[in-house]
């Protein structure tokens, strides 16, 4: 998928930003950089800011028009610092990353391009109209314009996160299958209910909990255990502790050796 994503920088004036964008791309696993009429490229500042992402700069395609950069693209998204009232769907970077995944999922041929504008004036309305979606990083409206390379960083980071989330989903499923041993499965709602009843009982018996003055204790404990995602093995331990506490309160000899789990 990364192989089919292009980062297109239009008419960049500061070569350092080209280097910064290249670095951000390589960090996030992207490699296809298109430069539409850069003012000053190649340039030592670009190389310096790329900090080792030289291959991205060396392979960057320098073209004369946006059209050339977009040849072979089936989805084009443009970025803008200003929330321009143009009739395009406005997305934030996270939504745009999901759109990119959806696009590839649908099996559409061709590349996806993310287009970035000039440092001083951004993309023209005409250029933005070449884009199906318009991406705005929801920055401070009083100070909305990010540095160009920083804007590239935000977008490519979101793309990477979306890809990782996607790659992880089946992994989680696999983990669940591998852990299908009974003990590793989450305690059922029913088991949790029985535990809470048992816990409340013991807390009353030891004098910690007064049902006349409950102080939301049980609700708070439910929230705490809810966060812990208790599995069946852990549930056995918790129930064992309660049972032994009750036995001890009644002066019965303890099992010693603790739990048998
Ligand atoms: N004065 C210009 C600022 C351009 S900043 C303008 O108002 O458009 C240079 C480029 O960085 C932009 O064209 C865009 O590609 C990107 N960028 C900067 N801030 C952004 C933001 N908040 N959302 C989306 N892209 C942004």
pLDDT digits (tens, 9 = 90+) for 142-184: 999 999 999 999 999 999 999 999 888 765 555 555 556 778 7
Domain 189-260 class, CATH top level: mainly alpha
Q: Strands across the sheet with 133-135, in order?
A: 61-63, 32-36, 5-10, 111-116, 73-79, 133-135, 89-91
Does the C-beta of 152 come closer than 6 Å to ligand 1? no
Does the C-beta of 2 come closer than 6 Å to ligand 1? no
**Mean pLDDT computed over every residue of the chain:** 89
**122 has which bridge partners?**
118
Centre of ligand 1 from the C-alpha of residue 2, in Å: 23
Backbone φ and ψ for 84, nearest 5 degrees, come out as -65, 140
Question: What is 2-171's CATH number?
Answer: 3.40.1280.10
pLDDT of residue 26: 98
* pTM of the entire predicted model: 0.71
The domain segmentation of the chain, as residue ranges, is 2-171, 189-260
Residue 247 pLDDT level (bands cut at 50, 70, 90): very high
Centre of ligand 1 from the C-alpha of residue 82, in Å: 7
Q: Which of 11, 122, 141 to mutate to test the pocket of ligand 1 (most atoms within 8 A of CB)?
A: 122
CB atoms within 10 A of CB 245: 17
The CB-side HSE value for 92 (13 A sphere, CA atoms) comes to 4
Q: 194 to each of 186, 201, 202, how far by Cα in Å?
A: 14, 11, 12
């Amino acid at each position: 998928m990364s192989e089919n994503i292009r980062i297109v920088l239009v008419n960049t004036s500061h070569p350092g930003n080209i280097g910064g964008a290249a670095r951000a791309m390589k960090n996030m696993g992207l490699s296809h950089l298109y430069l539409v009429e850069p003012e000053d490229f190649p340039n030592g500042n670009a190389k310096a800011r790329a900090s080792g992402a030289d291959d991205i700069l060396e392979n960057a395609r320098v073209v004369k028009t946006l059209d050339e950069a977009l040849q072979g693209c089936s989805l084009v998204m443009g970025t803008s610092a200003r929330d321009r009232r143009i009739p395009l769907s406005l997305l934030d970077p996270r939504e745009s990353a999901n759109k990119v995944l959806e696009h590839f999922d649908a099996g559409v041929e061709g590349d996806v391009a993310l287009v970035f504008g000039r440092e001083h004036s951004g993309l023209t309305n005409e250029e933005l109209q070449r884009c199906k979606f318009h991406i705005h990083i929801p920055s401070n409206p009083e100070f909305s314009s990010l540095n160009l390379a920083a804007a590239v960083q935000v977008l490519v980071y979101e793309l990477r996160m979306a890809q990782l989330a996607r790659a992880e989903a089946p992994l989680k499923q696999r983990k669940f299958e591998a852990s299908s041993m009974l003990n590793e499965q989450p305690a059922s709602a029913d088991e949790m209910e029985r535990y809470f009843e048992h816990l409340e009982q013991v807390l009353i018996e030891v004098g910690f909990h007064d049902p006349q003055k409950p102080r939301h204790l049980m609700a708070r404990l439910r929230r705490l255990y809810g966060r812990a995602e208790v599995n069946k093995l852990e549930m056995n331990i918790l129930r064992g502790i309660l049972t032994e506490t009750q036995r001890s309160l009644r002066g019965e000899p303890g099992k010693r050796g603790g739990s048998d789990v």
